[in-house]
């Protein structure tokens, strides 16, 4: 199936190249065990010959317990230290879960500057293309150890969208702790699930809240809409749903919020 031809959820299962993004709160702390569920879903895709890239947050959140931190640090140096420890542990957990499926992970750490610099951008693209051809599963994260407040993606939803554009993915699946986007925070009265977002719909009348309930991430519904719009405008179909529904999402089930891609 050629890129740009996936116009419905059902088409996701036939995608040739898929980017999946998972947030910190979905794979750290009490939810660290969900890595196994996520990996099993990705392995099923991989086994069918689909090219899969995982964009995973969670380095800082994973490193926090090792630094004896009860909440996400606010100063840059401690964030960098937590990321240095947590990224190592996070990749180990992913590889440990991937090994029974005979899949090898490849770590790709990027800064915003890498995708703004033409040379660095080309190098990142070439590296990921080669990893995919070698049937390695790239696991992408922001390089928090060297990133600064001034030069950051801000959240990994945007990173995932930029990676999707970079590798010309057929589908981007944004996973969080909410099953779909809603017209207002889902805990509020009157919140209505947004099922489909047509090309050009900016969702201007929608009210979004902030980060997920766990408080360890940096993105919220608004960042997902912005990222989804970026990817969809570049020709990549986007599905926003819960990490607990990843298996159903990748099988094309009628769940989540689907952004129809523009024709490019």
The 10 Å Cβ neighbour count of residue 63 is 26
Residue 24 annotated in ligand binding: no
Note whether 85 and 66 are within 8 A (CB): yes
Note whether 162 and 128 are within 8 A (CB): no
CA 202 → CA 112, 176, 222, 239, distances in Å? 24, 21, 11, 16
Residue 177 annotated in ligand binding: yes
DSSP assignment of 2-66 equals: -TT---SGGGGGG-SEEEEEE-HHHHSGGGTTHHHHHHHHHHHHHHTT-EEEEEE--HHHHHGGG
What whole-number distance in Å separates Cα of residue 87 and Cα of residue 89? 5
Residue 21 annotated in ligand binding: yes
Taking the alpha carbons at both ends of the chain, their separation in whole angstroms is 15
What whole-number distance in Å separates Cα of residue 57 and Cα of residue 152? 13
Provide the CA 260 distance to its chain's centre, in angstroms: 18
Does residue 209 come out as left (phi exceeding 0), alpha (psi in the -120 to 50 range) or beta? beta
Nearest to 40 by CA among 230, 186, 184, 246: 246
Please state the residue numbers annotated as binding site for ATP.
21, 176-177
Please state the residue numbers annotated as binding site for substrate.
57, 144, 156
Please state the residue numbers annotated as binding site.
21, 57, 144, 156, 176-177
């Amino acid at each position: 199936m050629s890129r740009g031809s996936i116009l419905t959820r059902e088409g996701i299962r036939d995608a040739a190249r898929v980017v999946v993004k998972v947030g910190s709160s979905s794979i750290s702390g009490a939810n660290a065990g969900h890595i196994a569920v996520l990996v099993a879903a990705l392995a099923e895709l991989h086994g069918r010959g689909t090219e899969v890239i995982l964009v995973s947050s969670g380095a800082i959140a994973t490193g926090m317990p090792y630094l004896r931190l009860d909440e996400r640090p606010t100063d840059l140096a401690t964030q960098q230290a937590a990321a240095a420890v947590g990224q190592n542990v996070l990749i180990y957990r992913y590889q440990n879960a991937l090994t029974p499926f005979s899949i090898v992970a490849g770590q790709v750490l990027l800064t915003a500057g890498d995708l703004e610099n033409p040379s660095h951008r080309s190098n990142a693209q070439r590296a990921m293309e080669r990893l995919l051809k070698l049937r390695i599963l790239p696991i992408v994260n922001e390089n928090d150890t060297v990133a600064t407040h001034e030069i950051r993606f801000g959240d990994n939803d945007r990173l995932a969208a930029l990676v999707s554009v970079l590798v010309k993915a057929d589908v981007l699946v944004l996973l969080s702790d909410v099953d779909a986007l809603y017209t207002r925070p889902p805990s509020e009265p009157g919140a209505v699930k947004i099922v489909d977002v047509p090309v050009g719909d900016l969702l201007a009348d929608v009210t979004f809240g902030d980060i997920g309930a766990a408080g360890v991430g940096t993105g919220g519904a608004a960042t997902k809409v912005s990222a989804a719009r970026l990817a969809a405008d570049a020709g990549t179909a986007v599905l926003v749903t819960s990490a607990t529904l990843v298996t159903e999402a990748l099988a094309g089930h009628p769940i989540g919020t689907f952004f129809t891609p523009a024709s490019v």
